[in-house]
Amino acid sequence: MRLMAHTRAILTAAIAATSLCTSASEEHLHVMLQGESASAMADLVQAQGGELTHKLPVIDAVGAQLSRAQLDAILTSDEVLRHIDDLAFDPPDDNRPERTSCDVGGYLQLQFDELGLEWQLLNKTDKAVRASQLTLDWPHEWGAATMLSLGDTQWTGSQLPSAPGGLTLNFTGDKAPALRGSGHLKVRFANSSKRPGPERQNLFSSEITFGPDCTLSSPPAYPDNHNDFYYATVTGADNLHRHHIRGQGVTVAMLDSGLWEHDSLALDTSGAPRVVARYDAISGHEVNEAFDESGHGSHLTSVLAHSGPTLRDGKATGTYKGIAPDVKLAVIKAFNVEGQGGMLDIVRGVQWAIDNQAKHNIRVLNLSFASRPRWPYFLDPVNQAVMRAWQAGIVVVAAAGNEGPEPMSVGSPGNLPYIITVGAVTDSWTPLDRSDDYVPDFSSRGPTPSAHIKPDIVAPGGHMTGLTRPGSSLTTDHPEYLLDTGEFVMTGSSQAAALVSGLVALLLQLEPQLTPDNVKCMLTSSADPAINRDGLLAYSPFEQGQGYVSVTRALTLGARDCANEGLNLEHDISGKDHFEGPAVMSEDGEITLPGLEQMLSPAPPAKGASDIRTWGVKAHIERLPPGASDSPDSPFNWEQLYQIEKKRMEEIGN
């Protein structure tokens, strides 16, 4: 399985197969044995003198270190129903594209003084790269550029165009500016400006071309993503914060790389400790500290539960940076410094959550990782454990993955039909304007290999601000995503999943009796689909699921008893029956759904602002001219649904 971050880390077994003897025939393997019970499998291992590494009654299995001879002897027993002797859970894919030669990036924050700016650049290759073109654009009021430097080259005075507002320079040969390791783009202007840095960053743009397929653009900026992380507002969580709905009484288990126990993560909004347990699934023991070497788990916890107040214009708003700032936390560490973990460690972590559910009131399990599926969903050992968690009453939220835009790229455990699988949307750096929000290419698409529609919903996952441990592998590998104020910005469906786990905690505080199926139903039935002006879907269900999540809509308009229809969890767990989804292959070899051609707009979705796309039935109907209606050929009656929702909201208001 793979942690969802900017970088890809392939999960391998926590204990690699190692040669304990010189003879190849005595090489030891790390294997999983599955049978009628974990105890029976453990007895077989011990009878052959093998080393038991994992006891996993949740899936009637064990992990063991065995020689080939020991394994062969064990497999003669009729008690063994299945074995896996290759625990590298995500094997290399020979068809993956080769790494691009363009590995040049820039820091998220540009540095400004009154007369100019500086943008730190990073060349992560071991060779110098040369720029072939530089294009800059800025407000005329800043005047002309008086000094410009890029990498190892500087221009001043008459070497620069005298016109204000922008310039384009082309370079060739050895005189082209070179970037080796870390370098800078620096610009000085004739006139001063005292506007805030983020505002000026949004007024300035640069494009540096280093080759045919290598162009670097300066990023926009949020107005203030130190005091306001925005996503609580976007999802409606801030409205609940003001009414003291902040996740109190709900424990979320975060199965990831551990936790940096910063006060805003380890303490709730009252300053009280809220980490109820720390379990190291790698060693199999509860610990006093689940040290986060990677930083991934801490960042996800920040999205979920950061207890720092949101400030606007220096004043408290009554809302908080995290989605559920008062949840309790159960930290399960299953991933190491490189974002790698073992399949059996993950199963052991899920088992611990189930075993300790009542003790710690664990209601939510967040799984922000994904792996290319190797088995049907019901044979995947992690999925088997996760089904048990769902059966036990734990709402499981998983990331779809970051392997889009290809179809069938949703990873495991997100391919499990029962759970809530979350894809990402990004906000184009305008957090309070949904008109330019879109599903980014990286967000994994469905269907699953068993033809189920995934993801179930999409949620904010683009450039998400949060805390992570200084010196973690994320911060050392990607210093460009560190903000001056100490936060770290990450993009991925991992963050989207953690956000949804927070929303689930808010729902469960309000209605503790909710079952996992009903939580899923509330979120999916109330999500806002992306709709084009023609009344057709802007994205297929394989891209957006049911739509953009909203906790306020879930509370007011969410349905019950609509999730996982046509499935039977008990039959799946027992092996009595397994289930296929509705996806089909068209005559021309395309993956589709019955009737999808009539539902999906032919217009390709814009990556950013769109004149035709909007999110939600209300926004779609209210943008139409008076008297306008959907085409009679449309399979959707948005006007009817709009009136139903409007009536429901009026009833609640009265």
Same domain for 524 and 464: yes
Instruction: Tell me how far apart the alpha carbons of residues 570 and 388 are, in angstroms, rounded to a whole number.
Output: 9
**Domain-terminating residue out of 217, 249, 283:** 217
**Domain-terminating residue out of 526, 553, 584:** 584
Q: Specify whether the CB–CB gap between 382 and 1 falls below 8 A.
A: yes
**What pLDDT, in 10s, does the model give residues 124-143?**
988 999 999 999 999 999 99
- What is the token pair recorded at 142? 């800043």
CB contact set of 78 (below 8 Å; sequence gap of 6+) = none
Average pLDDT of the segment spanning 293-298: 97
Instruction: Residue count of the chain, please give it.
Output: 654
Average pLDDT of the segment spanning 519-528: 99
Q: Is 598 exposed, middle or buried (0-12, 13-18, 19+ CB in 10 A)?
A: exposed
Same domain for 141 and 71: no
**What pLDDT, in 10s, does the model give residues 616-641?**
999 999 999 988 877 777 899 999 99
Instruction: Tell me how far apart the alpha carbons of residues 453 and 589 are, in angstroms, rounded to a whole number.
Output: 18
What confidence tier does 26 reach under pLDDT thresholds 50, 70, 90?
A: low
Residue 628 falls inside a structural domain: no
Instruction: Tell me how far apart the alpha carbons of residues 179 and 105 are, in angstroms, rounded to a whole number.
Output: 11
String of DSSP letters for 307-347: -PEEEETTEEEEEESSSSTT-EEEEEE---TTS---HHHHH
DSSP state letter for 21? S
Residue 645 falls inside a structural domain: no
**Domain-terminating residue out of 584, 604, 620:** 584
495 three-state secondary structure: helix
Asked whether the predicted pLDDT for residue 101 surpasses 80, the reply is: no
Strands 362-367 and 395-399 turn out to be parallel
Residue 99 falls inside a structural domain: no
Cα distances (Å, whole numbers) of residue 272 to 71, 304, 307, 325: 50, 17, 11, 12
pTM of the model: 0.93
Residue 247: name the closest of 257, 255, 237, 256 by CA: 237
Residue 416: name the closest of 522, 572, 521 by CA: 572
- Residue 637 host element (H or E): none
Same domain for 147 and 80: no
Same domain for 241 and 211: no
- Model pLDDT, residue 10: 31
Q: Specify whether the CB–CB gap between 445 and 405 falls below 8 A.
A: yes
> Radius of gyration (Cα) for the chain, nearest Å?
26
Count of domains for the chain: 3
Active site residues: 256, 296, 494
Same domain for 358 and 310: yes
Average pLDDT of the segment spanning 388-410: 98
Average pLDDT of the segment spanning 38-47: 98
- Model pLDDT, residue 6: 37
- What is the token pair recorded at 320? 């908080």
Q: Specify whether the CB–CB gap between 443 and 426 falls below 8 A.
A: no
Residue 617 falls inside a structural domain: no
CB contact set of 146 (below 8 Å; sequence gap of 6+) = 156, 157, 160, 188, 189, 190
- What is the token pair recorded at 232? 């609580």
Same domain for 514 and 433: yes
- Model pLDDT, residue 96: 39
Place of tokens 């808010």: 506
Residue 138 falls inside a structural domain: yes
- Model pLDDT, residue 589: 87
Instruction: Tell me how far apart the alpha carbons of residues 635 and 619 are, in angstroms, rounded to a whole number.
Output: 19
Same domain for 63 and 190: no
**What pLDDT, in 10s, does the model give residues 222-280?**
999 999 999 999 999 999 999 999 999 999 999 999 999 999 999 999 999 999 999 99
- What is the token pair recorded at 307? 């207890």
- Model pLDDT, residue 100: 53
CB contact set of 230 (below 8 Å; sequence gap of 6+) = 222, 427, 431, 432, 465
- What is the token pair recorded at 477? 């590998």
- On average, the pLDDT of the chain sits at 92
Residue 295 falls inside a structural domain: yes
Which CATH number does the domain housing residue 376 bear?
3.40.50.200
Asked whether the predicted pLDDT for residue 102 surpasses 50, the reply is: yes
Which CATH number does the domain housing residue 78 bear?
3.30.70.80
Same domain for 420 and 292: yes
Neighbours of 89 (CB within 10 A): 25
DSSP state letter for 288? S
Q: Which domain holds residue 117?
A: 110-217
Q: Specify whether the CB–CB gap between 290 and 331 falls below 8 A.
A: yes
- What is the token pair recorded at 297? 């788990």
Same domain for 430 and 369: yes
Residue 42 falls inside a structural domain: yes
Q: What angle do CA 623, 624, 629 make, to 5 degrees?
A: 145
Same domain for 486 and 378: yes
What confidence tier does 50 reach under pLDDT thresholds 50, 70, 90?
A: very high
What confidence tier does 93 reach under pLDDT thresholds 50, 70, 90?
A: very low
Same domain for 246 and 345: yes
Instruction: Tell me how far apart the alpha carbons of residues 412 and 371 are, in angstroms, rounded to a whole number.
Output: 5
In terms of phi and psi (left: phi > 0; alpha: psi -120 to 50; beta: otherwise), the region of 16 is beta
CB contact set of 495 (below 8 Å; sequence gap of 6+) = 4, 299, 300, 303, 368, 424, 460, 461, 464, 466
Average pLDDT of the segment spanning 424-441: 95
Torsion angle of alpha carbons 601, 606, 610, 616, nearest 10°? Answer: 50
Same domain for 67 and 31: yes
- Model pLDDT, residue 281: 98
Neighbours of 9 (CB within 10 A): 22
Residue 367 sits at φ, ψ, to 5 deg, of -125, 85
**What pLDDT, in 10s, does the model give residues 185-238?**
999 999 999 999 999 999 999 999 998 889 999 999 999 999 999 999 999 999
Cα distances (Å, whole numbers) of residue 485 to 114, 478, 482, 490: 20, 16, 8, 15
Q: Could you tell me what percent of the chain has a pLDDT over 90? A: 87
- Model pLDDT, residue 632: 76
Instruction: Tell me how far apart the alpha carbons of residues 88 and 13 are, in angstroms, rounded to a whole number.
Output: 5
Residue 91 falls inside a structural domain: no
Longest dimension (CA), the chain: 86
Asked whether the predicted pLDDT for residue 4 surpasses 60, the reply is: no
- What is the token pair recorded at 109? 């924050």
CB contact set of 239 (below 8 Å; sequence gap of 6+) = 552
Q: What angle do CA 642, 647, 653 make, to 5 degrees?
A: 125
- What is the token pair recorded at 640? 């009817």
- Model pLDDT, residue 46: 98
**Distance of alpha carbon 601 from its chain centroid, rounded?**
27
